[in-house]
Amino acid sequence: MSRAAAILPATPRALALCLALAVVMPLAWPGEDPALSTMLAGIGFSEAQEAVEDAIVEEGLVLGPVSDFAAMLHNTAAAFGRPQAVYREARIYSFCSGKVAWQLAAERPENIVHCPLTLAAFTLVDDSDQTVHLAWRRIPGDSPGAGAARALLQRIADRVAAAGQRRPRSAQPLRKDAIIQ
C-alpha cells in the first residue's frame, strides 16, 4: 500500500474532498490578499451601518441576513481561550444581485461560492479613534461576471464612503487601503 493510500484511502468521500479542494483552492489570486478594505473618516459605526444598508438598497438589491460577528466572537471567546476581543463592533452584510449571480454561475458553476456577496463593517477594540472599516472579498478572475461583482462591491463601498464625507463630523479625509480595479 502506498503512503498516499494509507493517509487518504480512495473512497468516494476522499475523492469528493479532493475535488472540492481543487475547485476552491484556485479562487484566490496568487500573491494577492483576497480581502479588500477601506477606512472611513467622519462617520460613526451606527451611521456606517445605515450607509451600508442604504447603499445596498440603492443598487436595487435586497439586504439579506446581517451577522453580528463581534457578538458571535464574544459569545465563543471562552470556549477558545480568547480573553480579548478583536472587534468593538462588527457586522457582516449579505446581499445578492440576480444578474451578477447568473453571470457568475453561467461562467463557472463553482462561482456559487461568491453568492451571496458580503461586505463587513467593523471597529477595532484597540483603536481609540473607533475608525470604521469596510471589508469585502476580492472576486477573482477576469470574466464579465467577476468584473460585474467587483464593480458592484466597489460601488457599494464608494457609496458608504461618500456618506461619511457628507457628514462633516471630522476634518480627516477619506483614506483607502485598497480598491477593486
Q: Evaluate the omega torsion of the peptide bond into residue 168 and state whether it is cis, within 30 degrees of 0.
A: no
For residue 83, tell me if it sits in a domain: yes
Q: Look at residue 55 and tell me if it is in a domain.
A: yes
Q: Is residue 81 part of a domain?
A: yes
The pLDDT, as a whole number, for residue 158 is 95
How many domains would you assign to the chain? 1
Say what the pLDDT of residue 32 is: 64
Contacts of 139 (CB under 8 A, 6+ apart): 114, 146, 149, 150, 153, 180
Residue 54 in any domain: the answer is yes
The answer to whether residue 128 sits within a structural domain is: yes
Each residue's pLDDT tens digit, 43-63: 999 999 999 999 999 999 999
- Residue 133's CATH number: 3.30.310.70
In a domain, 47, yes or no: yes
DSSP per-residue letters across 123-161: EETT-TT--EEEEEEPPPSSSHHHHHHHHHHHHHHHHHH
Closest CA to 39 of 151, 126, 135: 135
Residue 111, classed as helix, strand or coil, is: helix
Q: Is residue 1 part of a domain?
A: no
pTM attached to this predicted model: 0.73
70-76 average pLDDT score:
95
- pLDDT on residue 180: 31
Q: Is 105 within 8 Å of 116 (Cβ atoms)? A: no
- Chain-centre distance of CA 90, in angstroms? 12
Alpha helices, H only, the chain: 3-7, 12-24, 45-58, 69-76, 98-107, 144-166
Show the domain range for 35. Answer: 29-176
Which three cell numbers, joined as nine digits, stand for 10? Answer: 480512495
User: Is residue 39, in this structure, part of any structural domain at all?
Assistant: yes
Decide if 142 contacts 149 (C-beta within 8 A).
no
